[in-house]
Amino acid sequence: MNKKKKIGILTGGGDCPGINAVIRAVARKAMLEDDAEIIGIEDGYEGLVNNRYRKLQLRELSGILTVGGTILGTSKKANPYRYAIKNGDKLVFKDLSRRALDNIDDMELDCLVVIGGDGTLGIAYKLFKDGVPVIGVPKTIDNDIMGTEITFGFDSAVWIATEGIDRLHTTAQSHHRIMIVEVMGHNAGWIALHSGIAGGGDIILIPEIPYQIDAIVAKVRERHSRGKKFSIIVVAEGAKPKGGDIVIQRIVKESSDPIRLGGIGFVLGQQIENMTGIETRTVVMGHLQRGGSPTPYDRVLATELGTKAVDMIQAQEFGSMVGVQKCKLVKVSLKEVSKGSRKIPLDHPLIKSARSLDTSFGDKK
């Protein structure tokens, strides 16, 4: 009798809408086509190190297509190659990759499907180099993974951010205020760019284009001179002034990505109000962008990525991620993915379109 294929699924990094849709797609296709056994590893790499997993049943997959978060749990801190351990009052880091590899061997996995962002997939590449058959699926609201033009979770985040901007328009208009909307995106401005354009932002600030406070103030004053007594500013959390630095909310020492951004909106708000005398308020969208049900687009994309991942398992195309390029699903080397984050090119058509409509990026007076 042929041995049943065993496929592990792991979800790492920040949660986002659409993860459950990928889990569902991978598991259902593998079960129905290959009669595979699906092993869900709990809480990302934390579960891989500490051997926490369970066998997924078809009934668990029913109804999760529309549900946000992840039924497997996740962790932004755990990294088998640099695992944080408390030693008294001190925090020390140990390489526990050998333990993780032994656990994979004990589970007798034929493949490990890793659903995550650039950090999670970078670790997956290390596991692949250590002999683990890995397939990656790109997940992040930030849309900043190398080798793919789109990630699931991004569209949902843009929808949520845009709705927030839409709602703030009436308040800004009624009270003649400047409203600053701070959105996520880490070191890439994709959410700010898309939601800023969709929400009619007057000024969009992204990490790729360092801003000048004088240029922002000049834009606000120019609008007031034309009778526009309010302004909407959409700022990415990783935006920074020319010659300046990012605003760090806190440091999580035990994390493999310790810097948590946040607060740039409040810094800007104080500066702008002091320089213009116009009441300025800041709203931080924060984790609202990660939660809730995925948009129809993200449900479809997640399903496509998940089923393509199973095709790649069947073809034994390990060490690869499912990507989207020119609207087609493609195979991307995890080596390419691990090279860094995908940022917005300065000649991107959306930047050109926005500038042509008199949207400011804070870099020109």
Give 33-76 pLDDT, tens digit per residue. 999 999 999 999 999 999 999 999 999 999 999 999 999 999 88
Q: How confident is the model at residue 198 (pLDDT cuts 50, 70, 90)?
A: very high
The pLDDT value recorded for residue 365 is 64
**For residue 243, pLDDT beyond 60:** yes
Beta-carbon count within 10 A of 315 CB: 10
Beta-carbon count within 10 A of 259 CB: 14
Percent of the chain whose predicted confidence (pLDDT) is above 70: 98
Give 7-24 pLDDT, tens digit per residue. 999 999 989 999 999 999
Tokens of 116: 């995550």
pTM above 0.85, yes or no: yes
The amino acid at residue 108 is E
**For residue 152, pLDDT beyond 60:** yes
Name which of 355, 300, 351 is nearest 329 in CA terms. Answer: 300
**For residue 257, pLDDT beyond 90:** no
The pLDDT value recorded for residue 355 is 96
Mean pLDDT of 235-255: 85
Measure the CA–CA gap between 20 and 298, rounded to whole angstroms: 11
**For residue 30, pLDDT beyond 90:** yes
Q: What is the DSSP letter of 347?
A: T
Mean pLDDT of 252-256: 69
168 and 181 Cβ atoms separated by less than 8 Å: yes
Give 295-331 pLDDT, tens digit per residue. 999 999 999 999 999 999 999 999 999 999 999 999 9
Beta-carbon count within 10 A of 58 CB: 12
* DSSP annotation string for 292-305: SPPPHHHHHHHHHH
Measure the CA–CA gap between 296 and 304, rounded to whole angstroms: 12
Assign domain 154-290+345-356 to its CATH superfamily.
Phosphofructokinase domain (3.40.50.460)
310 and 26 Cβ atoms separated by less than 8 Å: yes
Measure the CA–CA gap between 358 and 353, rounded to whole angstroms: 9
Q: How confident is the model at residue 250 (pLDDT cuts 50, 70, 90)?
A: confident
**For residue 123, pLDDT beyond 80:** yes
Same fold, 6-152+292-337 and 154-290+345-356: yes
Q: How confident is the model at residue 91 (pLDDT cuts 50, 70, 90)?
A: confident
* Residue ranges in 204-348 assigned as alpha helix (H): 213-225, 264-276, 296-314, 334-337
Q: Where are the domains of the chain?
A: 6-152+292-337, 154-290+345-356
Name which of 60, 139, 69 is nearest 293 in CA terms. Answer: 69
By annotation, the residues acting in catalysis are 142
**For residue 253, pLDDT beyond 90:** no
Give 202-223 pLDDT, tens digit per residue. 999 999 999 999 999 999 999 9
The pLDDT value recorded for residue 197 is 98
**For residue 167, pLDDT beyond 90:** yes
Q: What is the DSSP letter of 138?
A: E
**For residue 173, pLDDT beyond 70:** yes
The pLDDT value recorded for residue 266 is 93
Cα 40 to Cα 11, 23, 309: the distances in Å are 9, 9, 16
| Alpha-carbon torsion (345, 186, 16, 126), positive or negative | positive
Query: Which value, to the nearest 10 degrees, does the dihedral of the CA atoms of residues 291, 295, 298, 299 take?
Result: 100
Beta-carbon count within 10 A of 350 CB: 14
* Residue ranges in 78-153 assigned as alpha helix (H): 97-107, 118-129
Mean pLDDT of 69-85: 92
The pLDDT value recorded for residue 88 is 82
Class of domain 6-152+292-337: alpha beta
- 177-181, 246-250, 297-301, 360-364: segment of lowest average pLDDT: 246-250
Q: How confident is the model at residue 2 (pLDDT cuts 50, 70, 90)?
A: low
Longest Cα–Cα distance of the chain, Å, equals 80
Tokens of 1: 């009798």
